[in-house]
Amino acid sequence: MSSTDLVAFLRARLYDDERRARALVLDGKPVENPVPRHVLPRVLAEIDRKRDLVSRYEAMTADVLVVTGREAIISEYRRVILPDLALPYADHPDYRNDWRP
């Protein structure tokens, strides 16, 4: 599994998710839709948190973020965290089955 490809895939999907979520709001006013108003901030916060996880992985692999147990943490990201973040997008045409947890 190429973690570089998986990270790029995740970044693209999170960008798409954010763009779609923000499209539900025009000029600060919700567009007529079945999504309750309180859901959008939670969706955007979830996207931000997922981006933070991906960024933390990238920082560790680039030696920008140094932590105790770095190799074990990076291994956990590659084996579990990144594949789990990608799994909800398994129906996307760019999703690769070797990314499955």
* pTM (2 d.p.): 0.85
In the three-class reduction of DSSP (H, G, I as helix; E, B as strand; rest coil), residue 56 is classed as helix
Please report the pLDDT score of residue 33 as a whole number. 62
Percent of the chain with pLDDT over 90: 67
Flag whether pLDDT at 2 surpasses 80: no
Q: With cut-offs at 50, 70 and 90, classify the pLDDT of residue 60.
A: very high
For residue 89, CA distances in Å to 62, 80, 92, 93, 99 come to 26, 15, 5, 9, 11
pLDDT per residue over 5-38, tens digit each? 999 999 999 999 999 888 776 556 666 666 666 7
Sign of CA dihedral 9, 12, 17, 18: positive
